[in-house]
Amino acid sequence: MTFAQRLGENVAAARKRAGLSQEALYFRSEVHRTVISKVERGESIPRADTVARLAAGIGVDPGELFAGIAMEAGR
């Protein structure tokens, strides 16, 4: 699973746990619904400020959206 796919799954799962539609999250986060959709499908990696706005709109810590994502340092 890629970084984008895992992040998208985490965003979608957190949004659904909060009982929010993509449209409701758009209004709460001011991140356009099409961007939310692309992120959730793993088609787009959002900027840090977008992740922070999504997390705030969902009502979770931004770190929760990165759960299960591990990166290895290059050589």
- What is the topology classification, in CATH, of domain 3-66? 434 Repressor (Amino-terminal Domain) (1.10.260)
Is the predicted pLDDT of residue 64 greater than 80, yes or no?
A: yes
27-35 contacts, C-beta under 8 A, 24 or more apart: 28/56, 28/57, 28/58, 29/53, 29/54, 29/56, 29/57, 29/58, 30/57, 31/57
Q: Is the pTM of this model over 0.85?
A: yes
Residue 72 has pLDDT above 90, yes or no: no
Sign of the CA dihedral with 24 first, then 30, 31, and 34 last:
positive
Asked whether 21 and 36 are in contact (CB, 8 A), the reply is no
